[in-house]
Amino acid sequence: MGQRGVTPVPAPNAENGRLRVAAERRDRMRARLLETVLALYQPGRDNAALVIDDVIRAADVSRGTFYKYFQSIEQAVDELGENLTGGMVADFRALFAAESDPAVLAIGGSAMTMLRAWHDPRWGGFTCRVDYVDYFARASALDALVRDALCAARDSGQMRFGSLDVAVDLIVGMTVEARRRLIRAPESPLGYIDEMLACTFAGLGMEPVVFARARNSAFARISEGAGSLLWWSTDLAA
């Protein structure tokens, strides 16, 4: 005879399935909220006045739903910045993992940043904001990549500059302004990127012949690996 009042214990597989579905639902909602922040946090909007009500209205969710995932707009923006930075670092490492030439690494990182802003304007719009520049200083993986490449290029005689901080700030500042320009789709984006790279690295003491070789190698690696980049637009590349 069955026992009355005893709740059946779910089978382990059924319980695991429910937990997986719940986790997937939470991941989708978190991604939805971050996608909404990205859409709202673009140039031309009054982001200084952005409040939680703007996000919940655009995402069509309740205030309580937002607070299940984030304590503030600032926390959501920080997480979005971490995600975008982490993705870019992963892309760079995937394409340049076998590269040992510091000049190619320095140029390749700068080129990829500008190319993504051209191919993915929403990414460019978010990452060229002033607060993202502040975030860059706290993003140790990205900051280390830039510093290591510049320092190695200087030590090998490929560049000539005194302060590493000045060199890093020049690269970061250049890519911020370039992203602002590229999301507005200039007449010749590739020509703009080429000249911006040439002027920047000339300012860091790189000889034209060294720049030309490193630039060609960097773009060859990007071209070869473009198919693995989720943000790459074949229409723009053509």
User: What is the CATH number assigned to the segment(s) 74-237?
Assistant: 1.10.357.10
In tens, the pLDDT along 89-98 reads: 899 999 999 9
CATH number for 10-71: choose from 3.40.640.10, 3.90.105.20, 1.10.10.60, 3.40.50.2300: 1.10.10.60
CA nearest 167: which of 92, 110, 85?
110
Q: Is 106 helix (H, G, I), strand (E, B) or coil?
A: helix
pLDDT digits (tens, 9 = 90+) for 195-207: 999 999 999 999 9
Burial of residue 78, with CB atoms counted within 10 A of its CB: 0-12 exposed, 13-18 middle, 19 or more buried: middle
Interatomic CA distance for residues 200 and 95, integer angstroms: 22
Contact of 115 with 222, CB cutoff 8 Å: yes
DSSP 8-class letter at 227: G
Q: Which pLDDT tens digit goes with each residue over 128-178?
A: 765 555 655 555 667 788 899 999 999 999 999 999 999 998 998 899 899
The structural domains of the chain, with segments of one domain joined by +, span 10-71, 74-237
179 backbone φψ class: left, alpha, beta (φ>0; ψ -120 to 50): alpha
Taking only the tens place, the pLDDT of each residue in 99-131 is: 999 999 999 999 999 999 999 998 888 887 655
